[in-house]
Amino acid sequence: MNLNEVRRLVLEGKYFFYIHALTEAKKDGVTPEDAVHAILTGEVIEEYSDRQRCLVFAVLPDKVPLHVVCDYSQANMLLIVTIYIPDDRQ
């Protein structure tokens, strides 16, 4: 699945956050809306085609970098697996 398809699912409201994603986002002071913004404005920096996942990177309006792992293994639904601020080593 390409990034345009991932974005289409988000724009259509066909996405779901894993509890893990929300927990990790909260630890980093990031909101679910930040993750949506990242998906809509970011870029895929890694593709895990064997798991039907991709890693999206974006810089939020407040200049905070953000990683969002998206799972597209479900038909017509995007699963947001985790959300986190990358550390300097990533």
Give the domain ranges of the chain. Answer: 3-84
Selection from 23, 38, 26 nearest residue 81 by Cα: 23
Residue-level pLDDT at 50: 94
From CA 28, how far away is CA 47, in angstroms rounded? 24
Please give the C-alpha separations between residue 12 and each of 16, 52, 72, 85, in angstroms, as whole numbers: 12, 20, 14, 26
pLDDT tier for residue 1 given thresholds of 50, 70 and 90: confident
pLDDT tens digits along 30-71: 999 999 999 999 999 999 999 999 999 999 999 999 999 999
Selection from 59, 54, 31 nearest residue 44 by Cα: 54
Query: How is domain 3-84 classified at the CATH fold level?
Result: YaeB-like fold (3.30.2310)
